[in-house]
Amino acid sequence: MAGSMGNSVALMKASINVLKLDKELMVFPMLSGVASVLVMASFIAPVFLTGAGEVFTDGGSDYLAMSVMFLFYVVQYTVIFFFNAALVGAALIRLDGGDPTVGDGLAIASKRMGAIIGYAVIAATVGMILRMISERGGIFAKIAAAFAGVAWTLATYLAVPILVTKDIGAIDAIKESAAVFRRTWGEQVTGNFGLTWAMFLIMLAWGAVSFGVGYVAVMIAPVALFAVIGVSVLGFVFLTLMGSALNGIYTAALYRYAMTGDTGYFDPQIMGNAFRPK
């Protein structure tokens, strides 16, 4: 555990050092969040009217409802992948010694829009199939779906950076992602805690501080509780955006390491052990 903690702290410091140079990288997860909320809002009526929200659990075969849910998945994934591609593209510019802007990232993602949509369609298909297996099956189906989900995540871990840097389609990007991953870290691996562990601890600490301050506020001046809640929410939003930006930077750095062996701002040993044997 001590080693994992040390690695998480080192990854956090290295990623933050990159983010300090390009604070505008946090704009991409913010735009992604806003766009995702708008997508969800636009699908509320269609999902409600068609009963699409129940396609995973009722065992039915309402093709209209399934089509609506599939379309929602595709649009939502497209939004997420687009801004993730913009973030990774901008991060790669910085890691290569450049000075990226928000416009640079958006331009990179826009040029690859066709491939991003293709990747979103594939991801939506896989996501819906795995969720149906998990929701409609028994305990063994849930376990199988969970393992398949992990395998899919690892196989596609580098798909977005590949889409950003190479003029290839979604299927080829997925194939190359899996191949590069196996070549760099092996086949029988699983992810380390990495940034996720560090961000979890930071979120937990912020939650504890917020709760403590809120408790004191209630005792001294109950009206102040509203201000504490507001600051707490803003803090969680900021940490979420920062965590997304740091994760994008880390993904870009891992791809760069896998392709060139150059670790840049990151510790070579940590990059080589980013994924550990099962």
Q: Where on the phi/psi map is residue 186: left (φ > 0), alpha (ψ -120 to 50), or beta?
A: left
pLDDT of residue 276 exceeding 90: no
> pLDDT (tens digit, 9 = 90+) per residue, 118-174?
999 999 999 999 988 888 777 888 888 888 998 898 899 999 999 999 999 999 999
More confident residue, 259 or 264: 259
Cα atoms in the Cβ-side hemisphere of radius 13 Å centred on 41: 6
pLDDT at 278: 55
The token pair at 44 is 């509320």
pLDDT of residue 14 exceeding 50: yes
The token pair at 155 is 């196989």
More confident residue, 56 or 236: 236
Which of 82, 78, 88, 81 is CA-nearest to residue 25? 88
pLDDT of residue 86 exceeding 90: yes
Element (H, E) at 59: none
Which of 84, 76, 74, 81 is CA-nearest to residue 29? 84
Q: How far apart are CA 105 and CA 47, in angstroms?
A: 33
pLDDT at 70: 92
Mean pLDDT of 68-78: 94
pLDDT of residue 104 exceeding 70: yes
Q: How confident is the model at residue 115 (pLDDT cuts 50, 70, 90)?
A: very high
Mean pLDDT of 170-189: 86
Q: How far apart are CA 166 and CA 77, in angstroms?
A: 20
Can you tell me whether residue 188 is helix, strand or coil? coil
Which of 129-133, 190-194, 198-202, 216-220 has the weakest average pLDDT?
Answer: 190-194
pLDDT at 29: 95
pLDDT at 1: 42
> CA-based angle 107:70:41, to the nearest 5?
70
Output phi, psi for 112, to 5 deg: -110, 20
pLDDT at 270: 78
- Tell me the residue type at 2: A
pLDDT at 62: 76
Residue ranges covered by each domain of the chain:
2-277
